[in-house]
Amino acid sequence: MEKERQVLVVFPHPDDEAFGVSGTISTHVKNGTPVTYACLTLGEMGRNLGNPPFATRETLPNVRKKELQKAAEVMGIQDLRMMGLRDKTVEFEDDEKLIKMMANLIEELNPSLIITFYPGYSVHPDHEATGRAVVRAVRRIPKENRPKLHCVAFSNNHEDEIGPPDVINDVSSVIDQKIGAMKAHISQTAWMIADREEKLKQKDPETVAWLQNERFWNYQWENDKVL
């Protein structure tokens, strides 16, 4: 994995980072690269309250905040930013407000790499709004000064439209951190982790591949469709 000057990760919800990019984050930290994770909300509207339930609608925001902090600790992130937006409302935020939030982070941190969702291919409205805001902020930077933009995509049609991933990171050396990051979000992931761990012990090929390989797409500026 290429050594970066600074990595900025921008996702809307706690646990967005755990499944798709926690191995990449952990590897960058292991390589001595500063990583900032800007999480826009606390995921307070999440459906799951634990399994069996241990949170309520009133306590869930604080539960998920602590889970996010634990996940960041597991990955080695020392700069966690909780941006204070409300879950399931990111799509309704003023466009300029979101762009300015992203632009301020970029100006402060001067990242060589930004990781976020690929707008148009990330399913959830909050994911889409977050990716759009990052793209719009980066677009305003002169081309020669723009950071790399690695995007996570998983909609049903994404490879048909944007092709296979441009970057596949082998994160096998930090599998423990990746599993730890997923486990940290226990209110949301308890139902999944036990099954995945058992399949990993059995060396199930699909599970091993899913855990060891993290896939990213370079944002295609030449086919920029974000308005």
94, 92, 96, 161: which is closest to 122 by C-alpha? 161
The answer to whether position 1 is within a domain reads no
pLDDT tens readout for residues 83-138: 999 999 999 999 999 999 999 999 999 999 999 999 999 999 999 999 999 999 99
The answer to whether residue 227 sits within a structural domain is: no
Q: What is the dihedral of CA 84, 87, 88, 92, to 10 degrees?
A: -10
Residue 225 lies in a domain: no
Over residues 193-203, the pLDDT tens digits come to 877 778 888 88
pTM greater than the 0.85 cutoff: yes
| CATH code of the domain containing 34 | 3.40.50.10320
At residue 226, the pLDDT reads 92
Residue 226 resides in a domain: no
Q: Is the pLDDT of residue 52 over 90?
A: no
How much is the average pLDDT of 218-222? 96
Per residue in 207-219, pLDDT (tens digit) is 889 899 999 999 9
Q: Is residue 11 part of a domain?
A: yes
Residue 20 placed within a domain: yes
* Tens digits of residue pLDDT in 139-182: 999 999 999 999 999 999 999 999 999 999 999 999 999 999 99
Write out the residue range of the structural domain in which residue 87 sits: 7-220
The answer to whether residue 54 sits within a structural domain is yes
β strands within the chain, DSSP E: 7-11, 35-39, 79-82, 113-117, 148-152, 167-170, 213-218
Tokens 């990051």 belong to 181
Judge whether residue 191 has pLDDT over 80: no
Please give the pLDDT value at position 192.
78
DSSP string, 43-78: -TT-S--TTTT---TTTHHHHHHHHHHHHHHHHT-S
pLDDT confidence band for 17 (50 / 70 / 90):
very high
Cα–Cα distance between 188 and 160 in angstroms, integer? Answer: 30
Asked whether residue 224 carries a pLDDT value surpassing 90, the answer given is: yes
The reply to whether 159 falls in a domain is: yes
Question: Which pLDDT score, from 0 to 100, does residue 46 have?
Answer: 83
The total number of structural domains in the chain stands at 1
